[in-house]
């Protein structure tokens, strides 16, 4: 009986090995066929031999699969291309947008990385965006984002809110430029955090510390401790950044409650400089539970395709600063100029404790007078820090590794 069991076991092992070998040979055969068909399809029809034409007929399924893949690649390529409306079309579209702004009862603005590119902060999915460059195996240049200042678009949004034409701003950006433009805190939801704010979650309610430098130097995905401690209870401080793959739980500066309430009341939503690939996942921002006729009218300003284009009342292909400049002209509203002396970050910032002076190496935003507030002595020091951790540093690190490997 035992001999019979042993024989059966050997037989089943042999069968499994034979089956695995057959699968491997099958995969190799399919790869060879795929390569052959792909090579033939690259030739013009007139240049194909009789044998090659016969091979295409024999492997029709492979031909169809290769064609499907090519169609998908072409669609993806078109979606990544930047499209610009000509001057007349741009002006006409902005006039329609201006009328919508005038008529809106509750206008909410959704902003993405595209509104900060004029401040030399790279976007993510544009032709020169961080993820685009990394996918191509290129290094992402390091820069200190604390040196960026609010753009014309930031100042326009602040003015539109002041004129009561914009009720709320929902931003994906972590650069803090909306607050630095003078936009009131109550009118802003920073869904992915703010690089200048660290919080103590042990205090109740959570205690905020606004700094004059990027607090995320030591932080990354699932690692949010900044290395400093709460001056009130001594607990470890954490940043406010929500990385890809994380769920934002902080009340401020994320302000999800404000964003959801604004979306619920909105009759017009203006999306500026966002690919909407992340925002589209937040169902509460789009009122999709309502009939189409009762949803807010959607206006999109972006150079590339977005997943909400088909639902938009109007899609404007233009740079945010260009569009907003024309919009303010049409509305006959003067665009305020950013004045560093009036930047709210200086009046809201919490000074470091003496023992914390060496707790970071990031550049400090200097007041308009230009005095040094303890920023690193050398650019080399700041540059080194810019590629270590942080809300933008993960992209830098990946790019840097790929460059070294090359």
Active site members: 192
- C-alpha distance across the termini of the chain, in Å: 62
DSSP, residue by residue, 338-363: P-GGG-THHHHBPPPPGGGTTS--SP
* Token pair in block for residue 25: 């040979």
Residue appearing with tokens 């992402």: 140
Q: Which residues contact 31 (CB under 8 A, 6 or more apart)?
A: none
Local structure of 285: helix, strand or coil: helix
Determine the Cα–Cα distance for residues 10 and 8; give it in Å rounded to an integer.
Answer: 6
Instruction: Please identify which residue in the block is written with the tokens 């899609």.
Output: 315
Among residues 331, 341, 348, the alpha carbon closest in space to that of 156 is found at 331
DSSP string covering 172-193:
---S-HHHHTT--GGGEEETT-
The b-or-e profile of 234-255 (16+ CB within 10 A means b, else e) is eeebbbbbbbeeeebebebbbb
- Say which residue the tokens 């995905």 belong to: 221
């Amino acid at each position: 009986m035992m001999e019979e069991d042993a024989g059966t076991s050997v037989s089943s092992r042999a069968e499994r090995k034979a089956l695995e070998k057959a699968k491997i040979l099958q995969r190799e055969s399919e790869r060879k066929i795929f390569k052959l068909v792909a090579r033939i399809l690259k030739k013009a029809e007139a240049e194909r031999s009789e044998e090659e034409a016969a091979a295409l007929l024999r492997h029709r399924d492979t031909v169809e699969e290769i064609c499907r893949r090519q169609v998908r690649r072409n669609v993806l390529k078109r979606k990544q291309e930047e499209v610009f409306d000509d001057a007349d079309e741009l002006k006409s579209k902005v006039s329609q947008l201006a009328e919508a702004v005038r008529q809106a009862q509750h206008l909410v603005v959704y902003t993405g990385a595209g509104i900060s590119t004029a401040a030399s902060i790279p976007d993510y999915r544009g032709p020169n965006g961080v993820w685009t460059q990394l996918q191509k195996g290129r290094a992402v240049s390091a820069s200190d984002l604390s040196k960026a200042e609010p753009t014309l678009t930031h100042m326009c949004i602040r003015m539109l809110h002041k004129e009561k034409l914009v009720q709320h701003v929902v931003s994906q950006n972590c650069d803090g430029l909306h607050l630095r433009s003078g936009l009131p805190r109550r009118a802003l939801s920073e869904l992915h955090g703010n690089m200048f704010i660290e919080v103590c979650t042990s205090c109740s309610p959570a205690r905020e510390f606004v700094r004059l430098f990027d607090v995320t130097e030591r932080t990354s995905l699932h690692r949010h401790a900044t290395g400093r401690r709460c001056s009130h209870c001594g607990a470890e401080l954490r940043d406010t950044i929500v990385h890809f793959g994380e769920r934002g739980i902080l009340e401020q500066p994320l302000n999800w409650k404000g964003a959801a309430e604004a979306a619920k009341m909105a009759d017009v939503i203006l999306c500026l400089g966002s690919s909407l690939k992340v925002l589209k996942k937040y169902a509460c921002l789009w009122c999709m539970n309502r009939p189409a006729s009762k949803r807010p009218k959607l206006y999109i300003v972006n150079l590339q395709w977005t997943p909400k284009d088909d639902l938009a009342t109007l899609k404007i292909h233009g740079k945010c600063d260009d569009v907003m400049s024309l919009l303010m002209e049409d509305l006959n509203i003067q665009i305020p100029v950013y004045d560093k002396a009036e930047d709210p970050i200086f009046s809201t910032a919490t000074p470091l404790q003496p023992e914390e002076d060496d707790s970071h190496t990031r550049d400090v935003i200097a007041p308009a007078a230009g005095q040094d507030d303890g920023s690193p002595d050398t650019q080399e020091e700041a540059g080194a820090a810019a590629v270590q951790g942080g809300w933008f540093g993960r992209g830098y690190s990946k790019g840097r590794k790929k460059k070294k490997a090359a």
